[in-house]
Amino acid sequence: MKENIVIIGGGVAGLEAAARLIRLGYSPIIVEKQDHLGGHLAEWHCLFPDMTPASDITAHLVGEVSDANIFTSTEILFINHLKDSYNVMLSNGISIITKVILFTTGFRLFEASRKEEYGYGIYNQVITNRDLEHWFNTGEDARISSKPMEAVGFVHCVGSRDEKAGNAQCSKVCCITAVKQAIEMKKKFPEAMVYCFYMDLRMFGKKYEDFYISAQRDYGVRFIRGRVSEVSENIEGKVVVKAEDTLAGKPVRVTLDLLVLMAGMVCNPDSTKVASMISLQTDSDGFLKSKDNIMDITSSSRSGIFYAGACTGPKTVPETLAEARSAALDIHNFIESL
Ligand SMILES: Cc1cc2nc3c(=O)[nH]c(=O)nc-3n(C[C@H](O)[C@H](O)[C@H](O)COP(=O)(O)OP(=O)(O)OC[C@H]3O[C@@H](n4cnc5c(N)ncnc54)[C@H](O)[C@@H]3O)c2cc1C
Ligand code: SF4
C-alpha cells in the first residue's frame, strides 16, 4: 500500500506496531536515534514474572520487521504541518511526506544522582536497577564483586511518587522489577541477605503477587516497609543504610555490599522535543498526552498523529505490545477513511 507511515522510535512499541502494519500490507518507516533497535528492552536481562530472556523477545521483534524501512542513528530535524499531511525531515537528509506519524519514543530512567541522599555517584557501592541489568547481561561492573556477597539492598520509589523530584506518579514497574532482581541476586549469591525497602508494594499484574510471595518463601528476600532515611559509607567501603521499619515500629540499620536504587520511568525529553515541533500536548507528568485516557489512549488531539507504549506513561512490555497492536489497527482504519 502506498501511504507512508513514519514510526518515531524503534523500541518494543515501534517494532510491534511496524510488524502489525506490515501484516496489514503497509511499508512503515522506522526512525530510531540509537544505532540499534529494541529500546530499553535491549538493556534488560530477563523479564518479570516468567524470567523470559529479554534478548529472545528483542530478537523476535526485530526479526518481524525485516521488511520495514529502518533508519537507525537517525533523528528528526523538524516536522512541518502541511495542509493535510506532515513533512518529516530526518538528520540523514531524507524528507518524508506522510499523513500518519506514530510516536513510540518511550521513556527515560530517572537520573538517580539527583537524589543525593542515596549516594549514587558518591558512594562506590550504590548502583541503579539499570546498572544491575547491565551486570546480569555482561558480568562487567567493577563495583560488583564476584566474591560472595553478604548483604544487598534495594530502595524502591527512587524519583517516583516524589513531588520534590518533580515526579508525583508511580512508575508501576519498579516494585516487580525489584522482586525480580532480588531473586536473581539470591540465585547468584544464595548466602546473601537481600532486603527491599519499600513504601507500598504495587503487585498489580498477572502472577506478580505469586512472584512476590515466592521471593519471600523460596528465596528468603526480606521486605522492610519504611523510607530509607540515611545512606553512608563505612571505613571498609560498605554502604550503611538507616530506615524506619514502620510495620515493626523500630529503626533498622543494615550494612550492605551493594545498594540498588530502583530509578523510576520518567518522560523522555527526546519525545517532548519532537512533539513540540507540531505543538502536541504533554500531560502534567511530562509524558505525551493522549486524546483520552480510557477510550483513545493511542490517539493524540491531532489528526494522523498516534501514540503507543511508554511515551504516554510507565508501561510493562505486554501493555506496550497491546497498545502497539491497537495503534496499528487505528492507523489502518484512519488510512481507510481518507
Ligand atoms: C529497570 C527496568 C526493568 C524493566 N523490566 C521489565 C520487565 O521485566 N518486564 C516488562 O514487562 N517490562 C519491564 N520494564 C518496562 C519496559 O522497559 C517498557 O515497557 C518498554 O521498554 C517500553 O517500550 P517502548 O518502546 O514504549 O519505549 P522504549 O523502550 O523507551 O523505546 C523507545 C525508543 O524510541 C527511541 N527514541 C526516543 N526518542 C526518539 C527520537 N526523537 N527519534 C528517534 N528515536 C527516538 C529510543 O532511542 C528507544 O529506542 C522495565 C523497565 C525498567 C525501568
Ligand atoms: S512501582 Fe513500586 S517502586 Fe515503583 S514507583 Fe510504584 S510503588 Fe514505587
Q: What is the mean pLDDT of each run of 10 residues along the chain (338 residues)?
A: 91 98 96 98 97 98 94 98 95 98 98 97 97 96 84 98 94 98 97 97 96 98 95 96 94 97 97 96 95 95 97 98 98 96
* pLDDT the model gives residue 1: 63
Contact 234, 220 (CB under 8 A): no
The ligand 2 atom nearest the CA atom of 156? 3
* pLDDT the model gives residue 2: 76
Ligand showing the shortest atom-to-Cα distance for residue 72: 1
* pLDDT the model gives residue 148: 79
Strand order in the sheet with 258-263: 126-128, 258-263, 151-158, 193-198, 222-225
Domains and CATH numbers, the chain: 5-106+268-336 (3.50.50.60), 112-265 (3.50.50.60)
Q: Which residues contact 279 (CB under 8 A, 6 or more apart)?
A: none
Q: Which residues contact 328 (CB under 8 A, 6 or more apart)?
A: 16, 17, 20, 21, 24
The residue whose CA has the least distance to atom 12 of ligand 1 is 316
Pocket of ligand 2 (CB under 6 A): 156-157, 160-161, 170-172, 174-175, 200, 202, 262, 264
* pLDDT the model gives residue 111: 97
* pLDDT the model gives residue 180: 98
Q: Which three cell numbers stand for residue 230?
A: 540515611
Q: Which residue carries 508511580 as its cell? A: 170
- 3-class state of residue 283 by DSSP: coil
Q: Which residues contact 302 (CB under 8 A, 6 or more apart)?
A: 278, 280
The ligand 2 atom nearest the CA atom of 169? 5
* pLDDT the model gives residue 152: 98
Integer Cα distance of 13 and 34 in angstroms: 15
The finding on whether 34 has its CB within 6 A of some atom of ligand 1 is yes
pTM: 0.97
Q: What is the CB-side half-sphere exposure of residue 223 using CA atoms within 13 A?
A: 20
The finding on whether 211 has its CB within 6 A of some atom of ligand 1 is no
* pLDDT the model gives residue 110: 98
